Structure 1
Amino acid sequence: MALLSRRALINTTSILYLIALTILAAYALHSTRTLTLPIPNILTALTAALPALAGLTLSGAQTLSSALAPKGKHARNRFDAPPPPLSQSKILLSAVAFLLVYETIIGTLAGTRIWPIDGLECNLHSTWQSLFRSKNAARITAIQDAFNCCGFSGVKDMAFPFPDATHGGDACVVRYERTERCLEGWRGEERKVAGMLLAVVVGVVVWELIILLLPSPATSSWLPSTLTLPGDNNARQIEYRDNDADDAEQDVGGEEDSVFGETRRLNDDARLASQVEGGRMHPSALTRNEWRGDD
C-alpha cells in the first residue's frame, strides 16, 4: 500500500510539473504570435510539445524495460537462460539520448534569442520592415499598444498610422501622445519569451534527472541476495528475491514453495552431487571397502 501511494505521488507530481511547463511554453507561443516576435513558430511549438513528449518517452521506455525484465517465481535456475531480445539498458539509453538531442537543439536555438543583445536588432528590424511594407496595421498597432510606443528605432520610424496624404510621419505621436520608440520593449519581450522557452527545456532536463536517479518504487521493495552452492569449484551463484509474497506462498503451499525450502533442496542436491563426484574420482577406495564388507 505504501509503495502504491509513493508511486501515485510521484506520478501525480510529475504530471502536474510537466503540465506547468507546458502552460509556460504555451504562453510563450501566444506571445510570439500576438506580438509578431522574430522567433520561429516551429521552435515555440516544439518546446510546448517537449514536456508531454519527454513524459511519454521516458515512461514508455521504463515500462518496456520492465516488461522485458527476466520473470520467474524467485528468479531460480536462470544460468543458461538466453538474454532478452532487447537490452533493458539500451532501451532507456536510446530514449534518454533522443531527448538529449531534442533538448540540446531547442535550448541552443532559444539561447540565440537571448544573447547577444545587439545581435537581436537585425531580425527585429527585418520583421518590422516587412510588416510596414505590407501595410499590416493590425500587427504594428498590437506592438505599439503593448509597449505604449511609436515606431521602431524612433517615434517616426515606420510608425502607424502610416504616412499618407492626410498623415505625416509623426501621426502616431500626435494621435497617441507617445514619446518612446518600440525597439527596447519589443526586444525585451523577445528575450523574455526566449528565456521562457529555455526555462522549459531546463525544467524538463531536471525532471528527467530526478526520475532517472530516484529509486523506482517498483524495485525498491526487492531485497536481492545471493546463495553459493557448496562443493562447486565454479562458485555458481543464484539470485533470489525475498519479499512479502514469499510469506503468502508459505502459508498456502507450505515450506516446499518458500525461498527457504528451495534453498534447502538446492543445498541437498549439491551435497549429493559432491558425494557422487567424490566416489567417482576414487573408485579403487570404494572397491576395497566393498571387498572388506564381503569378508
Structure 2
Amino acid sequence: MMDASKRKRMVFAVSALLTILLQLIGLLQLSNVIRLRLPIHPVVPILAVFLPVVTLFLALVPVACQRGFAERRFVYPVVVAGNIVFTGHVLGRLCGRFVRSNGTKCYEARWQHWFEHKSCKIGKIERALQCCGFSTPYDRAFPFAENDASESDLCVQEYGFADACAGKWAAKTEMVAKSCMFVFFMVLLASFVCLFRWIRAYKTKKQLSGLDAGSEDDEPYVDDTREPDESSKMMPALTAAVEQATPSDDPPSYSVVARP
C-alpha cells in the first residue's frame, strides 16, 4: 500500500509533467503562428502556454499551503470558477471561429492583401510549406511578375514546388487551432477537478463538525443534586469504624500527672 507522502509526490510529478507537455504544445503552436503568418492571433497560443501553469498552481495550493488555504478557503473556489469561465470563453471563441465557420475567405483576403502590397511574407510561407501561389502554383505567387500580373511562374521555376499553398496553409491553421483547443480543454478539465475536490473537502469538513457537535450533545447528564441513598449514608460510619480498628504505628502517648 502506497503511503500518503509518496502518493502526494507522485501526484506532484505527474501534474508537473502534464503541465510541461501542455506548455510545449503551446510554444510549438506559437512558433507556427509566427513563422507561417497564420490567421490566428498570437494571444491564443500564448494563453495555451500560461494557463496550464495557472491551473497547476491552483491544483497544488490546497496541498502545499494548507494553512493559507484554510484561512482563504472561500476565495479559492472563486478563483477556480474564474479560470473555468475564462478558459471556456476562449475555447468557445476558438471553436466558433475555426471549426464551425469556413475560413477560406479569411485566408484569401489576407493573401490578397499581401499580394497588393508586394509583401515578402508570401515568399516566407511558400518556402516554409514548400508550395507556390494560393489557389494554384501560379496564383499570386512570389516572386511577383514585373507587370503586376496575378499569374506568375517564377516560383515554380525558382523553387520547383508544384503544390498550391491554400490547402496546406488552411490545414496548418486548423492543426494549430485544434492543438490550442486541446490545451484549453485539458485546462478546463483540471479546473473542474480542482473545484470538485474543494466541494468534497468542504462537505467532509461540515460532516465532521456536525458529528463532533452531536457527540457533545449525546454525553450523559449527571445530576449532582440528587439525595444520597442508604448505602452512601452508611459509608462515613464504616470508614470511621475501620480507622478505629486498625492499629496505629505511632508510639503510645503518656499523660503526665503532677503530684501534689
Tell me if both proteins adopt one fold, taking TM over 0.5 as the criterion: yes
Match of residue 148 from structure 1: 130
The alignment's TM-score, normalised by the length of structure 2, stands at 0.71
Q: Is the 1:149–1:179 Cα contact (8 Å) retained in structure 2?
A: yes
Per-residue deviation, residues 175-208 of structure 1 (Å, max 9, x unmatched) = 2333321111000000000010011112223334
- 1:162 maps to 2:162: no
From 139, 147, 171, the equivalent of 1:188 is: 171
SS of equivalent to 2:22: helix
- Greater CA drift, 7-16 or 162-171: 162-171
Name the CA distance, whole Å, in 2 between partners of 1:191 and 1:200: 14
Q: Is the 1:65–1:91 Cα contact (8 Å) retained in structure 2?
A: no
The residue correspondences of 1:270-289 to structure 2 (distance < 5 A) are 274-276=222-224, 279=226, 286=227
Change (3 A) 1:17 1:114: same
Give how far 1:57 is off.
3.0
- Greater CA drift, 151-160 or 20-29: 151-160
Per-residue deviation, residues 77-111 of structure 1 (Å, max 9, x unmatched) = xxxxxxx6x5x2x3332122111112112212322
Give how far 1:20 is off.
0.4
From 93, 103, 122, the equivalent of 2:77 is: 93
Q: Is the 2:62–2:69 Cα contact (8 Å) retained in structure 1?
A: no
Give structure 2 stretches of 5+ with no counterpart: 235-260
Name the CA distance, whole Å, in 2 between partners of 1:227 and 1:133: 76
Name the CA distance, whole Å, in 2 between partners of 1:166 and 1:9: 63
Bigger Rg, which one:
2
Match of residue 254 from structure 1: none
Give how far 1:58 is off.
3.5
Give structure 1 stretches of 5+ with no counterpart: 70-83, 229-234, 239-265, 280-285
Name the CA distance, whole Å, in 2 between partners of 1:51 and 1:170: 46
Give how far 1:153 is off.
1.9
Match of residue 157 from structure 2: 174
The residue correspondences of 1:209-288 to structure 2 (distance < 5 A) are 209-210=192-193, 236-238=214-216, 274-276=222-224, 279=226, 286=227
Name the CA distance, whole Å, in 1 between partners of 2:193 and 2:46: 25
Task: Tell me which amino acid in the other structure corresponds to 2:55.
Answer: A
Aligned pair count reads 223
SS of equivalent to 1:10: helix
Task: Tell me which amino acid in the other structure corresponds to 1:93.
Answer: P
Name the CA distance, whole Å, in 2 between partners of 1:68 and 1:37: 42
Give how far 1:66 is off.
4.6
Per-residue deviation, residues 192-233 of structure 1 (Å, max 9, x unmatched) = 000100111122233344556579xx9xxx9x69878xxxxx
Q: Is the 1:152–1:158 Cα contact (8 Å) retained in structure 2?
A: yes
Name the CA distance, whole Å, in 1 between partners of 2:85 and 2:209: 38
Change (3 A) 1:209 1:166: closer
Match of residue 60 from structure 2: 59
Change (3 A) 1:19 1:158: same
- How high is the sequence identity, in percent, across the aligned residues? 23
Match of residue 109 from structure 2: 126
